[in-house]
Structure 1
Amino acid sequence: MRQLPVDQTLIELYIHGRCTATQLAEVRQYLHDPAYRESLQEWLHHDWQQLSHENYAPETDADEKYRQYLALVQPAPATPVKQISTIRWWKVAVAAVFTGIIALTGWRWQQHLRQRAFQEQQWVQLHNEAGKRTKITLPDSSQVYLDAVSSLQYNKNYGVTNRNIILEGEAYFVVKHGGAHPFSVQTGNLTTIDVGTAFNIRYRHTEPAIEVAVAEGIVNVMDHARPQTGVLARLTQQQQLHFDTATREATVQMLPDAESIGAWRHGVLIFRQQPLKAVAAALERYYGINIRFDSPEAARGVITTILHHSTVDEALDIVAITAGVSVKRSGKEVLIK
């Protein structure tokens, strides 16, 4: 009798309980048709060898069932009458044995899925306090420059089942290309998917917008609140997305140069037509100081300036001159009036 191959993918679907009625009928045919005997035996033997190398100890008599199965399906000469009897017995025995093996393999898969789910819940969490910035090398060799008062999370299966990052604060990413999974950064309802190389993301609960700027390459920005629309924006080099979290409106603009993107990681702070209150918040994070205003009017100014590797006193002096205010510092406490 010509032997036919079993569909191993179909068997795996059966193990996971995802068979359709048609597929289930095909699996049952494997058990009832001797033409699949050798192929089924080969698959069971291979799967059993895999199980024997894993650290599982299920409470089952599958070992004995498997020995019975091997004894039953070994080819041996037989008279036509005995062959009919053996085939009938084989149909029943293989069904029982296959069910036992399926139960064991199903148990193994359940354990694997439980372990994977447990690993998926394990997260590496990194946080920088005010005045602290760090450079992080991820498991796939991608690099992250994490700003002050910023948090980064990634799964312990990063690089294996995913390359997903969760960011709160500001970070500059230099992504390693390749791998089976896309590199993505989740910030609130937005997810930025890397198609290029280097980009900066700024997202804080205390600020009204999310900003994504591309230094090199391309990124796609997705809005989870509008799944039907797909890509919210596709950004190329020197483009910046400004996403208003309240109105959910997005605007894209060209930046004057790529070097200014993520310049904070090199000690350069750039402020373009920014309210003094926002500038003060940035200085608090960068230098680890506390700034307060003696009146609401003092915080309403708007300034444009660049701080190059400035000390805290130098930065405060430049802000005072540019905004036309007076600054008084005592340790970490700063008063602007």
Structure 2
Amino acid sequence: MTLNKQIDTKLLLKYINKTADAKEIEQVNAWLEEDKLNENTILQMAKIYHQQCTLERIKQRNSDKALRVVQQRIRNKSRRIFIQRTTVAASLLIGLLGIGSFLLQYRQEESPMITVSTNAGMRSQLTLPDNTIVYLNAASTITYPSRYTSNKREVQLSGEAYFKVVHDPARPFIVHTSDERVNVRVLGTEFTLQAYEKDKLIQATLVEGSVQVGVRGKKGSVLMFPDDKVTYDIENDKIYRRKVNTTQETAWMRGCLIFKDTPMPEVLRQLANFYSVEFNVVDEVIHNYTFTGAFENKPLFQILDYMKISSKINYVMSYPEDQDERKPTIKLMKIK
């Protein structure tokens, strides 16, 4: 695993504002050596950081001067750097366990906002300002403030993420889904939340501690305990709770896919996100199937071959002429 896949936003900010220690500086310098893209990344980040910080900070420091300081430190490494100065929101490729899309969006607010997105097939790990650790699954986006200034710690999620929340009784941690339908409120705990925008279900699974799940328009909230999985059915406006195997529910963090009598639509959704493909189900009866299997870092064709044997489903994979615009498409047909 290379450094450019592990570098932390907080560490880069310390490097930019000269609060990093010798060991941290060495780590960032090594990361800069990994890829020329990393140089552009930190320079754009420096521009954003110093231009869009709070009014007090802007008064104290000159953003262009601060940017030149970072620029000079990298130039001292005798590397030519191209700097883009026209953007105030940078799309950065930093992923963990793959190259994810890392987008920083700083707005004119008291606390600038940061948005991190992963492409389909990628995962990422990040540390929030309160040291809460977040593992972001494929095709997911999280937005959070660069620092917490109120009595609450709030983030917004579209997709799926595992949260390892730092305990802070004075400041509850709240996760909002992107459509604001559901929020999860905790003090300090570990849980997953799955809320993809196009999905009809929003699901929360508790690994450790306790959380409260609130649904817009419903009175009160659902109190969850370890091994609980709460599902909100958007179409039927109903909430369900059941006990689950949390090891299976969090297997994606380890690069694993585990299915146990899983409905085929859910299987295909997970495979589509994990491998960055699209499925075209020719025979509708396939949607009624269930699927069981465990796969650790397996190529997609091996899973499809297993599905062909176990579920009698044939597949044909096609690749678009323009690789930049469309994903590979997999046509699924029942074997007769």
Q: TM-score range by the shorter chain?
A: 0.5 to 0.7
Contact kept, 8 Å, 1:130 with 1:286, in 2: the verdict is yes
Aligned to 2:48: none
Shift of 1:317: 1.7
Q: 1:325 to 1:194 in 2, by over 3 A?
A: same
Q: 1:246 to 1:176 in 2, by over 3 A?
A: same
Contact kept, 8 Å, 2:194 with 2:202, in 1: the verdict is yes
**1:336 lines up with 2:327 in the alignment:** no
Q: Which amino acid aligns with 2:144?
A: Y
Q: Which amino acid aligns with 2:116?
A: L
Question: How many residue pairs align between the two structures?
Answer: 220
Render the CA deviation track for 1:175-208: whole Å, top value 9, x for unaligned. 1112631111012321101244210111123222
Structure 1, gaps ≥5 residues long: 1-54, 57-116
Contact kept, 8 Å, 1:165 with 1:186, in 2: the verdict is yes
Give % identity. Answer: 25
**1:242 lines up with 2:231 in the alignment:** yes
Aligned to 1:317: 305
Q: What TM-score results when the alignment is normalised by the length of structure 1?
A: 0.60
**1:180 lines up with 2:164 in the alignment:** no
Structure ID, larger Rg = 1
Write the distance in 2 (CA, Å) between the matches of 1:301 and 1:289: 20
Contact kept, 8 Å, 1:192 with 1:222, in 2: the verdict is yes
Structure 2, gaps ≥5 residues long: 1-58, 61-106, 320-327
Render the CA deviation track for 1:269-315: whole Å, top value 9, x for unaligned. 12233332331221111011222123323443222332222221222
Aligned to 1:155: 145
Render the CA deviation track for 1:131-184: whole Å, top value 9, x for unaligned. 111011111111111111111111234365531011111111111112631111
Contact kept, 8 Å, 2:111 with 2:148, in 1: the verdict is no
Q: Which amino acid aligns with 1:259?
A: T
Q: Which amino acid aligns with 1:244?
A: D
Contact kept, 8 Å, 2:152 with 2:174, in 1: the verdict is no
Contact kept, 8 Å, 1:128 with 1:146, in 2: the verdict is yes
Q: Which amino acid aligns with 1:335?
A: K
Structure 1 or 2: more helix by fraction: 1
Contact kept, 8 Å, 1:133 with 1:145, in 2: the verdict is yes
Aligned to 2:258: 270
Contact kept, 8 Å, 2:132 with 2:163, in 1: the verdict is yes
Aligned to 1:327: 315
Q: What TM-score results when the alignment is normalised by the length of structure 2?
A: 0.60
**1:223 lines up with 2:215 in the alignment:** yes
Aligned to 1:134: 124
Write the distance in 2 (CA, Å) between the matches of 1:154 and 1:127: 12
Give the alignment partner of residue 198 of structure 1, picking from 186, 190, 207: 190
Write the distance in 2 (CA, Å) between the matches of 1:194 and 1:326: 45
The alignment partner of 2:298 has SS state of: coil
Q: 1:236 to 1:156 in 2, by over 3 A?
A: same
Write the distance in 2 (CA, Å) between the matches of 1:138 and 1:121: 13
Write the distance in 1 (CA, Å) between the matches of 2:262 and 2:200: 13
Write the distance in 2 (CA, Å) between the matches of 1:258 and 1:336: 30
Aligned to 2:28: none
After the TM superposition, which segments of 4 or more aligned residues of structure 1 sit over 4 Å from their partners?
none
